[in-house]
Amino acid sequence: MSDLNFAPAYNLAARIRSRDLSPVELMESCLSRIEKTNRVLNAFIAMKPEQALAEARALADRIARGEDPGPLAGIPIGVKELEDVEGFPSTHASVPFKDCYPARDSIQVERLRRAGGIILGKTNSPEFGSTAFTRNLLFGVTRNPWSPDRTPGGSSGGSSAAVASGMVPLATGSDGGGSIRIPACYTGLFGMKCTFGRIPRGPFEMLEWGDTVVSGPLTRTVRDAALYLDAVVGAHPADPDSLPHPGMSYIAVLERLPPRLRIAWSPTLGYARSQPDVMREVMTAVNVFEKLGHSVEEIDDVFPQAALAWAMIAGAEVYAEIADHIEAHRSEFGRGFLAGTELMRNVTPDRYGQAQRVRAELVNILWRLFDRYDLLLTPTLPTEAFDANGKMPAEIDGRPVESPIEFVAFTYPFNLTGHPAASVRAGFTDAGLPAGLQIVGPRHRDDLVLQASYAYECERPWNDRWPVEIPRAGG
């Protein structure tokens, strides 16, 4: 394995710009790492290595001519299967869509390319991003590089496995209920769910109305995520929900965390519970902010249990997306995915309205909370990574689990409200698996979430510990 495989993206891009590193050498190193590890992890499910190498050679020639290669100069990037890349099938990790080819790149991919990034391939996802683990009938199971018998999370599980294992420095994700933060937590990465609309999505074949899904980065360092965001933020005409450019460089302000922040810490959000060794690691992480001079106060605010509202809003949208394909392809969809999605046919306007009332209650609670505090801290997830095939533990902290939603109890509320939220590595459980701390900020304060994450990372660096040796899966 080359030292390049776990170097930060910002460092690699700087070396390429200064001609200290060839983009071809970096691409070859990533391809070599993929060759050694992907057969176990199944992170990449589609690649065009010769095309990627040709792009790296062309970039090297441009640099030799004195041209600016862009801020992401030559960085190999994995793209989540749910996102469009021209020349690759856009399958939604679903058999009925295996032969669908998009007319162009997504807006985010287009901007990553424009910044000098090179798209190496597509990474695995559950069908339509529907689960917190990554398995589907089209591409199979993706595994966690820390322990291949465990899941890397979902739905951006292929991206998280690729970055955590050193296959690529950066990968795209999307997050409609935790799908960036869940895999970031389970693989020890930094994962950022920006304010809704901060990164434009699309172009769309069907405009979405749930306003819960965002695109964003999975990276090994916070600075890498800031570099990524600088390349992709800003409004686009194809996305009517996209926000104007924030008027700042996230890299430029990364080290400007204000002093003496007022920070709320909620270990439960009033309804959740966590695995004891996860909570131990998260508490250690929370204490870092007090050490940094901030005021941290544990709160007992009870948030509404909005799981049904979230499931209804997100699920109805997915049903609308596939409704015209169900009867012709019923046997090709995953049974669990289709059964859950078809329940959304029963979502009537009055039920949908009730879900939006619950959502409004949550928005109002957070409005008042962020009048009192600058940031909110929670566990990212209540457990360590579970079985790669999706078998979840029967209990959390000694009490039976009544619904799978309990495993993502801390992430989905902030999709309903649109607040920026990130997962940083909190430590390791007794089984040696990563645990995560979630940092949530006021709407539009993506800069503050990044600054707090960076200050925490500087105090407790994690970029020196990765699963370099990937064991074989036991089953």
- Among candidates 261, 189, 245, which has minimal Cα distance to 422? 189
Sole residue written with tokens 């993706």: 142
155 belongs to the catalytic site: yes
Environment class of 349 (CB within 10 Å of its CB; exposed 0-12, middle 13-18, buried 19+): exposed
- If you compute the radius of gyration of the chain from its CA atoms, what whole number of angstroms results? 21
CA-CA distances (angstroms) from residue 115 to 76, 77, 152, 163, 215?
12, 12, 28, 19, 17
The amino acid present at 325, given as its one-letter code, is: H
266 belongs to the catalytic site: no
Active-site residue among 22, 29, 80, 125? Answer: 80
CA angle centred on 226, ends 261 and 145, rounded to 5°: 105
**Which residues, other chains included, contact 45 with Cβ-Cβ below 8 Å and sequence gap of 6+?**
81, 121, 122, 123, 124, 138, 139, 158
CA angle centred on 324, ends 319 and 329, rounded to 5°: 95
Q: Give Cα 96 distance to the centre of its chain.
A: 25
Active-site residue among 130, 156, 160, 179? Answer: 179
What's the CA gap between 16 and 287, in Å, rounded? Answer: 38
H helix or E strand, kind and range, residue 103: none
Active-site residue among 22, 130, 147, 155? Answer: 155
Sole residue written with tokens 């050679």: 57
Known catalytic residues? 80, 155, 179
